[in-house]
Amino acid sequence: MRKGLIMKLYLTLISLIIGVSAFSQKNIKMVLINGGTFEMGSNSKQFKDETPVHKVKVDTFYIAQYEMNFNEYKAFCKVAGFSDPYGETDFPATNITWERAVMMCNWLSRRDGFDKAYKITRDEKAGIFEVSCDFNSNGYRLPTEAEWEYAARGGDRSKGFKFSGSNMPYSVAWFNENYKGEEHKSGELLPNETGLYDMSGNVAEWCWDLYDGTYYSHSDNTNPKGSDVGQNRVFRGGTRRDKMAHIILTRRSYLNQKKKNLYLGFRVVRTKSYE
């Protein structure tokens, strides 16, 4: 217990030192990410979908300091009439499809008194799930891939680290070399430059974008939102089971929006320009 208390005090001190301003919007702690321009992607010879490096501008937004937790997800499932999810209190929520993640974003917005960001047309029997996003809404939504990478890099405080918060992943990320077969709560390791936890490793995170392996060669330069076609959605950050190469903050992954796994969750953002 003493060791745990010391670690909590240490992490609090780190947050104070880097000057992070995290505040609670209802039950979700959010961090303000000042807009800016950054170089997105990498020159990787192994992962061609990360190329080419290209300049991207993103507007100011809020992002959750932690991954969505199981407590919140269980409450959503109960209200929405879904079966009880698997998980533990205070751990990241996982095993969530992209479709259910956007539904939960709308539920959180309604609960916290914001406008819904998503317009959803849903018919389970017919297999229909159509969604559009109002990026000017003040409600919760999934980050675009560009917003996610910009925040993971540290926003306008970025020090150019390879992983989110460090060039040495052991202090900021749970991955296959240090997780020891155990699940980990959010925030057990150090945050990145903007005070965000677990952007590398632990649990991967859904983004808004439809995946396109060549998207970086023709994407918009300002607030890009991904491909216009497809069924596979981007997820980022890597997981506790991944090798080091897959938790680098530029690494892109994807999955069908109707699929889920035990190592994939999400965190929410909100648009700042609305306020």
Could you tell me the residue ranges of all domains in the chain? 2-271
Any bridge partners for residue 160, and if so which?
Answer: none
pLDDT of residue 128: 85
The pLDDT tens digits along the chain (275 residues) read 444 444 444 444 444 344 445 555 567 999 999 999 999 999 999 999 999 999 999 999 999 999 999 999 999 999 999 999 989 988 999 999 999 999 999 999 999 999 999 999 998 887 889 999 999 999 999 999 999 999 999 999 999 999 999 999 999 999 999 998 889 999 999 999 999 999 999 999 999 999 999 999 999 999 999 999 988 999 999 999 999 999 999 999 999 999 999 999 999 999 996 54
User: Is residue 138 a contact partner of residue 226, using CB atoms and an 8 Å limit?
Assistant: no
User: Is residue 270 a contact partner of residue 140, using CB atoms and an 8 Å limit?
Assistant: yes
Question: With 0-12 CB in 10 A as exposed, 13-18 as middle and 19+ as buried, what is 117?
Answer: buried
User: Is residue 265 a contact partner of residue 197, using CB atoms and an 8 Å limit?
Assistant: no
- Distance, in Å, from the CA atom of 270 to the CA atom of 275, rounded to the nearest integer, reads 10
Q: Which two tokens stand for residue 261?
A: 């796994």
Which one-letter amino acid corresponds to residue 139?
G
User: With pLDDT > 90 as the criterion, what percentage of the chain qualifies?
Assistant: 83
Q: CA 13 → CA 16, 18, 164, 194, distances in Å?
A: 5, 9, 19, 14
Q: pLDDT (tens digit, 9 = 90+) per residue, 47-61? A: 999 999 999 999 999
- Distance, in Å, from the CA atom of 161 to the CA atom of 151, rounded to the nearest integer, reads 12
User: Is residue 64 a contact partner of residue 228, using CB atoms and an 8 Å limit?
Assistant: no
User: Is residue 177 a contact partner of residue 238, using CB atoms and an 8 Å limit?
Assistant: no
- Distance, in Å, from the CA atom of 272 to the CA atom of 189, rounded to the nearest integer, reads 28
- Distance, in Å, from the CA atom of 122 to the CA atom of 120, rounded to the nearest integer, reads 6
Q: Does domain 2-271 have CATH number 3.90.230.10?
A: no
